[in-house]
Amino acid sequence: MALSLEKVSADAPGLVSLYKSARVSLDKRGLGGARVAVYLVLDRSGSMRGMYRSGAVQHFAERVLALSATLDDDGRVPVVFFSTAVDGIAELSVTDYRDRIAHLHAKLGHMGWTNYHLAMKAVIRHYQQSGSTDPALVVFQTDGGPTSRSAAQDMLCLASELPIYWQFVGFGDPRHAEFAFLRRLDELPVPARRLVDNAGFFPAGRDPRNVPDADLYDRLLDGFPEWLASLAGRGIL
């Protein structure tokens, strides 16, 4: 079950409006009452420096935390920071989220390149070690294509056999040539390359804070109900 509105109001009043907006998006898709583990993956490549400094990443993380509160009752979101390697794994919670992203980011040191597959592997390992039997929604934020495109494609295809859905979110100019790879990743053929369609992508613009909450949640959940429905006949969940 989700955290109750009363619980969110008591522990994280700053998330109440986001929580309500996320619930509307879930209900529109027939997902009210669904139990889903939510993960957040954050890009720490060098080009992301301004997004961390401006607070855009913190703002985005709070919106994902509010979504998680509507889908899981533990009030926590595992967060994987990545660049050249996995820079760190931490968590946000409804009782500890204010300014937390900046605090964690500051401790992680050098900002490197962009290796999706290592972050994806870390999420898969965390999910498997958690013992969860619920499906997982991974919100994977990045501002560009991966250093190794073949490794990212291979990892996504392998992961299609697991109950994990990858929603990629692009920060930056929607016309950025780097996002062409994410669009191709979203369109990898099924079943030739993937067992099921286990990924989506949308660009959130130069300043993701300008995306209205309702629109953001609609986009984060786009494709997710269809993916859930596809699992039943595949023996994945």
Query: Which CATH number applies to 5-231?
Result: 3.40.50.410
Residues 175/203, Cβ–Cβ less than 8 Å: no
Map tokens 């613009």 to a residue.
205
- CA of residue 141 relative to chain centroid, distance: 6
What is the predicted pLDDT for the residue at 66?
A: 98
Cα separation values, 148 from 55, 110, 122, 152, 156, Å: 28, 19, 16, 6, 13
Locate tokens 């969940």: which residue? 237
Whole-number pLDDT of residue 174: 84
Q: 10 by DSSP, 3-state: which?
A: helix
Segment 143-174, tens digit of pLDDT: 999 999 999 999 999 999 999 999 999 999 98
pLDDT of residue 237: 73
Residue pLDDT, tens place only, 97-129: 999 999 999 999 999 999 999 999 999 999 999
- Pick the more confident residue, 232 or 26: 26
Q: What is the mean pLDDT of residues 34-39?
A: 96
Tokens coding 60: 């985005």
For position 161, what pLDDT does the model report?
Answer: 95
For residue 89 the two structure tokens come to 């794994």
56-65, 72-81, 176-185: which range is least confident on average? 176-185
